[in-house]
Amino acid sequence: MTSLANMRIMVPESRELDLFAAMLEAEGATALRCPLVKILPLHDTAEPDAWIDSAIRGEFDELILLTGEGLRHLLTISGARRDGFIAALKRMRLTVRGPKPTRALREIGLSPDVTAPVPTSEGVLETFAGADLSGRLIGAQLYPGGGAEKMVSALRRQGAKVFPVTPYRYASETEMAQVADFIHELAAGRMTMVAFTASLQIERLMWVAKEAGLEAQLKLGLSRTPIASVGPVMQKALQKYGYEAAVQPENSYHLKPLVRAIARWRQSQ
């Protein structure tokens, strides 16, 4: 594999941040960790506690799980109710957005009943297309930032009652300041590349830029810095904001193929 020496690659934080960064650094790159979607426990668990209790009482007709981290946090919050919560999950129809919540279910010996054809909120909605949801109570595990609110609204328009829960939070305002520093670095042209591995990362980056008044700087930075995408779902998320990835694996959309694709790009420059 071609060396990535002297490349400064911005790596938005994710659950596999250290693994991905280590892969890049093993090839000589400097991986600059950006605390973009650092996942943290909630300060107040009243809402997820009520959601878990509803699940245990059998009030939900079915559940939607959008993220693996969400399920893991719910299991942690359940505490002494964990066994009862898992038993409740076994009794319900489980719809998942993609492979990450599927893995989290398998960790507790379960599997989904329905998997979205595309790992997005829109993909989840496809699984309910044309269904009469009148009077059905759906428990929906969401992620921070409001990105899944359209899904919730659409389900309600189909007649469902939806009890949403967001069982974790993203980085604090202190960490937002670090993200703002990265945006300035991008705008100044000091990054060789930005590597995105999850659509939430670009959504969160856009949100932080808006909150910090740095939308123009981010637009400049992303327009002048090559972007690497882990796969077509990530590419679609970038296109929503007007950006195209310069680098993407050809067919296997995982971290190792992404590192190889970055190396091929580097060799071609």
CA angle 225, 172, 80 (to 5 degrees): 125
89 and 29 in a single domain? The answer is no
Domain assignment of residue 103, given as a range: 46-165
Asked if 247 contacts 261 with a C-beta cutoff of 8 angstroms, the reply is yes
Distance CA 19, CA 76 (A): 24
What is the pLDDT, as a whole number, of residue 241? 94
30 and 62 in a single domain? The answer is no
**In the chain, how many domains are there?**
2
233 and 160 in a single domain? The answer is no
Using the 3D structure, point to which of 124, 147, 165 is the last residue of a domain. Answer: 165
Asked if 35 contacts 173 with a C-beta cutoff of 8 angstroms, the reply is no
Asked if 241 contacts 206 with a C-beta cutoff of 8 angstroms, the reply is yes
Residue 257 lies in a domain: yes
Residue 180 lies in a domain: yes
What is the pLDDT, as a whole number, of residue 39? 79
Question: What is the pLDDT tens value at each position of the chain, 269 positions in all?
Answer: 457 999 999 998 766 778 899 999 999 999 998 877 667 899 999 999 999 999 999 999 999 999 999 999 999 999 999 999 999 999 999 999 988 899 999 999 999 999 999 888 999 999 999 999 999 999 999 988 777 899 999 999 999 999 999 999 876 555 778 888 999 999 999 999 999 998 878 988 898 899 889 999 999 999 999 999 999 989 999 999 999 999 999 888 889 999 999 999 999 88
Using the 3D structure, point to which of 136, 165, 194 is the last residue of a domain. Answer: 165
Of 103, 88, 145, 154, which Cα lies nearest the Cα of 124?
154
111 and 186 in a single domain? The answer is no
147 and 193 in a single domain? The answer is no
98 and 183 in a single domain? The answer is no
219 and 176 in a single domain? The answer is yes
26 and 131 in a single domain? The answer is no
Judged by DSSP in three states, 262 sits in helix
123 and 79 in a single domain? The answer is yes
Residue 3 lies in a domain: no
DSSP string, 184-252: HHHHTT--SEEEE-SHHHHHHHHHHHHHHT-HHHHHHHHHHS-EEESSHHHHHHHHHTT---SB--SS-
52 and 132 in a single domain? The answer is yes
62 and 158 in a single domain? The answer is yes
Residue 2 lies in a domain: no
131 and 204 in a single domain? The answer is no
CATH number at residue 230: 3.40.50.10090
Residue 60 lies in a domain: yes
What is the pLDDT, as a whole number, of residue 201? 87
Using the 3D structure, point to which of 165, 181, 213 is the last residue of a domain. Answer: 165
Tokens (6 digits) for 145 = 């930032």
Read off the pTM: 0.70
What is the pLDDT, as a whole number, of residue 172? 58
What is the pLDDT, as a whole number, of residue 18? 85
What is the pLDDT, as a whole number, of residue 27? 94
